[in-house]
Structure 1
Amino acid sequence: MPSLDDLLTAAVSGVGGSTRPGQVEMAQAVEHAARAEEHLLVQAGTGTGKSLAYLVPAVAHAQRTGRPVVVATATLALQSQIVDRDMPRVADALEPLLRRRPTYGLVKGRRNYLCAHKLEGGFPDEDEGLFEVGEADAAAGRIGQEVLRLREWADETESGDRDELVPGVSERAWRQVSVSADECFGSRCPLVEECFVERSRTAAKEVDVVVTNHSFMAIDAFEPRAMLPEHDLLVVDEAHELVDRVTSTITDELTVAQVRAAGTRAGRMVETTDGLEDAAATLEAVLTDAPEGRLRSGLPDSLALALERLRDVARGMLTELKPEKGAETDGSRQVATAAVTELFDVAARILEQRELDVVWVSQDPRRGAVLRVAPMSVAMLVRDRVFGAPAAGEGSDDSTPRDRTVVLTSATLELGGTFDAVAGTLGLRGDGSPSWTGLDVGSPFDYPSQAIAYVAQHLPAPGRDGLAPQTLDEIEALVRAAGGRALGLFSSRRAAQQAAEEMRERLGDDHPVLCQGDDQIGTLVRQFAREPGTVLFGTLTLWQGVDVPGSSCQLVLIDRIPFPRPDDPLASARTEAIKAMGGNGFMAVSATHAALRLAQGAGRLVRRSDDRGVVAFLDSRMMTARYAGFLQRSLPPFWPTTDRDLVLGALARLDETAPDPLPVGDPARRGLTGAVEPVASTGSDGAEHPRPVAGSPPAGKGARTAVTGGEGWSEQDDEELRDGVALGLDVPALAEQLDRPDEAVAARLTGLGLRP
């Protein structure tokens, strides 16, 4: 078999570049970890080429062992990049050396596929009267037409994969032809041999690299029945997001509407649902008067009684729903059983008041009060189930350990100069933790000579009443000196909009100011990248997703240290728990959260080896606070200063000598033949920049421009909404995740048919 160096050289040459020291070091470390069966945390800065640095040794490992390697990412954009761009090129480059073409596949949740049994009428209609065969005509409206189109497509598709349906359909229509994991019959299904999901997972057992997402990987680790093929090497990219994704996966919620919907599903198969309706009414009365926020002193008696009533009624109803001995469970009974089981499980979990669980109430403008429960920390769960997961394959149980090596990688794993903070959240510290190695392969960029980190120490500390006049003056001075070319990252939508409105008045036509919400993110970023005098302001999406190399972005503004909200239920619970154990809760939770976000935000500036510019922190606490050193050590090693005149002069010189902006392509589109039109450009560092923002529609999904509720939405935004709904997130949680107003998210959900 060819050496790893030969394979990596061939793969990198296949994408038009050359290997870099950090890339080679990372690839060798991944290969060593796999052979030594030792977990690895590897920080790889922007421009390293880390996807090839783990994909090549992954292919080599699969070739050597005959077992697939699983790659889990946080975002749809990176999954698409790997499947549509990276792996095809790796396969082309390595085929002559390996004398076989490396194979790969994408594994998704059950809801992403057609259900053959449901298509045959094996399940009840989601909407009464909508899914009668042959009757989905114009009289049934838009949803009915979509269902008719889905039935026609079902006769043609070989994969049943929703992403291959172009154009797509609403979530409401898709529910007519798909089922959730809980509703699925599994091996008992009469059409299991024709099941698209089972076929896709069977095929995944035969490939070298299986690509999935963090949430699906977590479900595979936590559920008794394995959904991913048996493997002994797991690579987690975007690993800084893993804890949040795992937390979302195992967060449960309960609403009054959910209780009543379960009663409707079960109504035809039980003697009466009056008990469930009474339980819903009792719960509604309690939650209506409940204040928002965390239940700090345990469950109030009224809520505990309401949940006990719901649990007991659900238990009795589950007994009624059991089919008679020897009878087969039909689709209607399966769906009803899944809905009632969820009520029982959530009510029982909240009543159990587990030591680590946090319970809180939030108000959804459309769904009313939502009762949620989530673990305060997932560190031990991740330690036990991800780093020491159960054996894969049918019939596995919790008692059989799987010897699996885990490689976690990201551009931001070292916070405060060490891996300790991130390792602690993953359960890799303390007694009984598995052994692991941390490696920082650096970046090919010369940060001290390419960028300045400027702290505006003379500004007042940020307050709660919006941006101070002095801060607005500072923004204007910096933007004018830079000749536009500025990306403003703000900790709240209100601050971004305030700055945008003020700068539009002050800058006039000299420098157009774009603000998140004016249009879909991808459109805004492409305009920003193409027009170097333009300014773009935004919030969380821009902090983590923008990739605008070249002269269009020579100034990144960060308005304040991005601490979590003081009323965040999980953050506050974690802080208090660590403090009670004698630790520093602020540093372990709030400062760590802020350090990660700052590192992500500051990383927007230098994307290529010839990029130059300034990251300006408009929060004097970056110099004066006791935790300032920790935050500073979490940033790329830019040249630091507090000298305002020096920075203004540097920005002006950069503006005067700035080259033309780099060409910016439109989003990649997949034609009906499945061919992808790439829009990637290769920088002088050999690193590719396939699209200007992660919020752009990923390759293979096409572009859709929609403005709903005053907000611009891309296809990826819509996919993230669907994913969030599938995870049970309500409107406020989705709004926070996407950093958009609640009312805009609610309007878009309605437009997509995700809310009735």
Structure 2
Amino acid sequence: MMIETLTEAVRATTGIPYALPRPGQQTLTEHIEAAIDQNGQVLGIAATGVGKSFALLAPAMVAATYGQRTIVSTESLSLQAQIIDKDAPVAAAACEKVTGTRPQVALLKGFSNYLCAMAVRDAAEAVTGTTGMRKSTASLRAAVARVRPGAKVDGRPFDATNGAPLLDWALGIDPDATGDKQSYPGTMTEELWRTVSVGPSDCIGTNCPLLEVCKPRAARAKAAEADVVVTNHSMLAVQAAKGVPVLIGNKNLGEFHIIMVDEAHALPENVRNAGASEVSPVTVSALARAIRNVLDEFDADTERIVQEGLAAAAELGEELAGWGRNARPGEEVKLRDGEDPVERTGLMLIAWAKSVKSRLESVKNSASMKQQLAARRLDGRLDTFIANVTQVSIHRVGTARWVAQKTPGPEAKNQAPYWSAAASPVNVGGLLKANLWTAPELIDEEDEEVIAAKEAGEPVEPGSYDLTVIAVSATLPARFGYQIGLDAPNVEYPSPFDAAYDASALYIPRLAEQDVAALYPDWAPGRGRARFDARAHEGWAAKRNVELVEANLGSALILSAKAESGRRYAAELRTAAMGRWNVYSQWDGLPTRVLISRWREDESAVLVGTKSLMTGVDAPGRTCSLVTVDRIPRAAGNPVGDARVEVLMEALQTDKWGADRLVYGSDAALLLEQAAGRLIRSVKDAGMFALLDPRMLTKGPVSYPEPTRLVYKRAVRRFARVIVDTGTAEAFLHAQSGQGLDTAA
């Protein structure tokens, strides 16, 4: 029934009554069906155009008809919205047509993505000076409209220009609306959103007088009733990294049996980020200042404990600076087994945090809901802080630790750099396997056997079960199963874009004699390999970009491995364009979505960016008919990457260079493949992907070691035509842009 449901979904979305699933789409669905039947796993490489969404959703819908519930997770909010608003309703309707049952689908985001009615009211009262007056919602909205600069919330300045519209929207929101951050139509910062939302540990729960209009609670109630719950990688990552039953094993949400991860390549990094810890004097100072907003600031004990915190922050700063004393600018100091960056201050900091928590207990039960909320927020921050101090101080296998200098954010009053200690999990496969792919059985407290066992004083121990796991992406690195704790091999599915790639070209320029002389002035044939000069290459790549964009008459996406290089490319392209086409860049000060939208709608425009634009940018057609990458986007050595290398050396019994390729090389190849994928977004697309990195060629003064080159070569394997001659490349672009083959013209 899963293939029949897939077929009905394809016909509904195409409007063609006899349409059939694409070959790769059908095969993927068949493999998922077999995995569900056998409680197995699928690791699928399904390029853009295969139709992953319906290949995932059709089996999930049919599985629901025999009692299996599914979690579907995506990386981006845009994909999440597409599933909920477009694909899931079609798949559910197709399932109903085939089986007679229409599964229920719900969206679930992290707790703090939703409005908190109490936080909204408290913020509105604070900025309007009406705290405790119990004004009506209409009166509050009218007062908010009159708010001017100078207002404060919890002692912090309030951005009235953008904050007043946010509060007005939040106060007047429809009771049935989701109330999530992404549904807000205005402009907002993360700091502003924090004034109207809370985290799960901050919530005052059933004590809240506004419980009936609680948006996070409503979202979770819908998810508990749904057969298919759509969420994001951040939710999965928190559960995997911290072992908190956010989804799997959550009694309020019920049991799940299948988990489907789209854009699976991004999940390991999400888990590392979710498990990351940081301790710095800035963190401690912020906690100390927050105490005044919760406890009585006129109480002598309050001021004493604040000053103790500020003194501890200063002492911590001195201790961490000692670790960085001999570090070069920008260098991260890796910590080894036995080294504790907070050896002198760690216990003192934990004791101070616990003393503050003790003082908060009475406030957490205050008659004032506002005080309760503020106390719980601070209490949650202190719990996180205590855990972070422990995490950075102790060496654990599979965790990287380091000390680094950081620069305060632009909103900070004090812009002086400071030192911080940090830690991050490295090998996340074990975390995913233990906390996501395996689920505890939920005990039914009303079950007769459970009741009888408890009455007899016998312990009731829950068992566990393995979920069916489906992880798919357009690109997956080698040995991805090892990375995420699965035993399945990568399986690549046929793409309908093969013809589009055949009509396109990969250009890797062979250096002309004058280029060799400019880039490697000291090199001559017979002298061995030259040393790659990144600065000289940047200038050379800037000229190549101009020549290629000229040949293509604009319509390009220019990508750089470093932001500094990207700024130079944008400047030189603007000079060369002379107004013939617009050049947009990631450094123009526009929000990314606005920047991409303007470029997408301007067919001849050029967009310049760095690594963040190598994924998620979608512009079918002529607009993106030329994509260039200046060099392989390999990350610089860092503590997390180096720790991953060490773990692989031990696990695979390989040398450092082999493990380095599996970490830094594979990560770079994955990003390169994502960048190349920006070119072909529909079956009608064609163009050129230019990799301006001569080290990819075996002949020349400098090239990558062959094992590394082969890793990168696989990332661009879909291009059948490879051009190395500059004249041939420009002729290809002239023909593509409709200028003919006469390059002399």
State the TM bucket, normalised to the shorter chain. Answer: 0.7 to 0.9
- Tell me the amino acid that sits aligned with residue 274 of structure 2: T
2:363, 2:375 within 8 Å by CA — same for their partners in 1? no
Partner of 1:200: 219
Q: Which moved more, 1:401-410 or 1:387-396?
A: 387-396
- Tell me the amino acid that sits aligned with residue 443 of structure 1: S
Partner of 1:678: none
One of 273, 280, 293 as aligned partner of 1:255? 280
The 5 Å alignment of 1:85-104 reads: 85-104=86-105
1:555, 1:605 within 8 Å by CA — same for their partners in 2? yes
Determine if the alignment matches structure 1 residue 560 to structure 2 residue 602: no
- Tell me the amino acid that sits aligned with residue 51 of structure 2: G
The 5 Å alignment of 1:148-547 reads: 149=168, 152-153=171-172, 156=175, 158-167=177-186, 171-186=190-205, 195-221=214-240, 222-227=242-247, 229=253, 230-266=255-291, 268=295, 272-273=304-305, 274-288=307-321, 290-291=323-324, 293-297=332-336, 303-323=342-362, 330-360=372-402, 361-366=404-409, 368-369=417-418, 370-391=420-441, 400-413=463-476, 415=477, 419-420=478-479, 422-428=480-486, 435-446=487-498, 449-458=502-511, 460=519, 463-465=533-535, 467-518=537-588, 519-547=590-618
Gaps of 5+ in 1: 429-434, 659-756
Deviations 1:519-559 (A, max 9, x none): 44444444544544433222123211222222333222111
- Tell me the amino acid that sits aligned with residue 285 of structure 1: E
1:47, 1:608 within 8 Å by CA — same for their partners in 2? yes
1:198 aligned counterpart, secondary structure: helix
- Tell me the amino acid that sits aligned with residue 598 of structure 1: L
Following the alignment from structure 1 to structure 2, what is the Cα–Cα distance between the partners of residues 139 and 531? 39
2:64 aligned counterpart, secondary structure: helix
Partner of 2:23: 21
Gaps of 5+ in 2: 150-158, 325-330, 446-458, 520-530, 699-703, 741-745
Following the alignment from structure 1 to structure 2, what is the Cα–Cα distance between the partners of residues 255 and 127? 31
Q: Which moved more, 1:314-323 or 1:76-85?
A: 314-323
Following the alignment from structure 1 to structure 2, what is the Cα–Cα distance between the partners of residues 108 and 44? 25
One of 53, 68, 71 as aligned partner of 1:51? 53
Determine if the alignment matches structure 1 residue 618 to structure 2 residue 619: no
1:465 aligned counterpart, secondary structure: helix
- Tell me the amino acid that sits aligned with residue 493 of structure 2: V
Partner of 2:156: none
- Tell me the amino acid that sits aligned with residue 557 of structure 2: L
> For the structure 1 residues 503 and 309, does the alpha-carbon distance in structure 2 shift closer, same or farther, using more than 3 Å as the test?
same
RMSD: 3.5
Following the alignment from structure 2 to structure 1, what is the Cα–Cα distance between the partners of residues 431 and 126? 35
Following the alignment from structure 2 to structure 1, what is the Cα–Cα distance between the partners of residues 391 and 460? 22
Following the alignment from structure 1 to structure 2, what is the Cα–Cα distance between the partners of residues 139 and 445? 54
Following the alignment from structure 1 to structure 2, what is the Cα–Cα distance between the partners of residues 515 and 58? 41
1:390, 1:398 within 8 Å by CA — same for their partners in 2? no
Deviations 1:229-284 (A, max 9, x none): 32110010111100111111111222333323333444527764143333222113
- Tell me the amino acid that sits aligned with residue 109 of structure 1: G
Partner of 2:718: 637
Deviations 1:388-443 (A, max 9, x none): 24446899999742321111000001x4xxx42x2232133xxxxxx425321121
Deviation at 1:650, TM superposition (A): 2.2
Deviation at 1:147, TM superposition (A): 7.2
Deviation at 1:201, TM superposition (A): 1.1
Following the alignment from structure 1 to structure 2, what is the Cα–Cα distance between the partners of residues 376 and 260? 29
Determine if the alignment matches structure 1 residue 594 to structure 2 residue 668: yes
Deviation at 1:621, TM superposition (A): 1.6
Partner of 2:701: none
> For the structure 1 residues 62 and 149, does the alpha-carbon distance in structure 2 shift closer, same or farther, using more than 3 Å as the test?
same
1:462, 1:619 within 8 Å by CA — same for their partners in 2? no
- Which structure is larger by alpha-carbon Rg, 1 or 2? 2
- Tell me the amino acid that sits aligned with residue 485 of structure 1: S
Partner of 2:524: none
Determine if the alignment matches structure 1 residue 650 to structure 2 residue 724: no
Deviation at 1:170, TM superposition (A): 5.1
Following the alignment from structure 1 to structure 2, what is the Cα–Cα distance between the partners of residues 264 and 186? 26
1:305 aligned counterpart, secondary structure: coil
2:399, 2:425 within 8 Å by CA — same for their partners in 1? yes
> For the structure 1 residues 70 and 354, does the alpha-carbon distance in structure 2 shift closer, same or farther, using more than 3 Å as the test?
same
2:630, 2:693 within 8 Å by CA — same for their partners in 1? yes
Determine if the alignment matches structure 1 residue 628 to structure 2 residue 647: no
1:205 aligned counterpart, secondary structure: helix
- Tell me the amino acid that sits aligned with residue 365 of structure 1: P
Give the total of aligned pairs.
642
Determine if the alignment matches structure 1 residue 569 to structure 2 residue 571: no
Partner of 1:738: none
> For the structure 1 residues 7 and 132, does the alpha-carbon distance in structure 2 shift closer, same or farther, using more than 3 Å as the test?
same
> For the structure 1 residues 263 and 603, does the alpha-carbon distance in structure 2 shift closer, same or farther, using more than 3 Å as the test?
same
Identity %: 28
Deviation at 1:55, TM superposition (A): 0.9
Deviations 1:576-626 (A, max 9, x none): 554575432320111101110111011111222232222111101222322
Partner of 2:523: none
> For the structure 1 residues 166 and 536, does the alpha-carbon distance in structure 2 shift closer, same or farther, using more than 3 Å as the test?
closer
Deviation at 1:32, TM superposition (A): 1.4
2:363, 2:372 within 8 Å by CA — same for their partners in 1? no
Deviations 1:611-662 (A, max 9, x none): 222211110122232211121123242123423333332222222289xxxx
- Could you tell me the TM-score, scaled by structure 2's length? 0.78
Partner of 2:525: none
1:64 aligned counterpart, secondary structure: coil
Q: Which moved more, 1:245-254 or 1:517-526?
A: 517-526
Deviation at 1:14, TM superposition (A): 1.5
Q: Which moved more, 1:437-446 or 1:328-337?
A: 328-337
Deviations 1:482-520 (A, max 9, x none): 233322111122212212222333343444433223344
Following the alignment from structure 1 to structure 2, what is the Cα–Cα distance between the partners of residues 611 and 151? 43
Following the alignment from structure 2 to structure 1, what is the Cα–Cα distance between the partners of residues 691 and 337? 41
Following the alignment from structure 1 to structure 2, what is the Cα–Cα distance between the partners of residues 124 and 533? 46
> For the structure 1 residues 148 and 504, does the alpha-carbon distance in structure 2 shift closer, same or farther, using more than 3 Å as the test?
closer
1:126, 1:175 within 8 Å by CA — same for their partners in 2? no
> For the structure 1 residues 184 and 466, does the alpha-carbon distance in structure 2 shift closer, same or farther, using more than 3 Å as the test?
farther
2:622 aligned counterpart, secondary structure: coil
Q: Which moved more, 1:124-133 or 1:288-297?
A: 124-133
Deviations 1:41-66 (A, max 9, x none): 0111121111111111111111222x
Q: Which moved more, 1:553-562 or 1:396-405?
A: 396-405
1:266, 1:337 within 8 Å by CA — same for their partners in 2? no
> For the structure 1 residues 204 and 278, does the alpha-carbon distance in structure 2 shift closer, same or farther, using more than 3 Å as the test?
same
2:497 aligned counterpart, secondary structure: coil
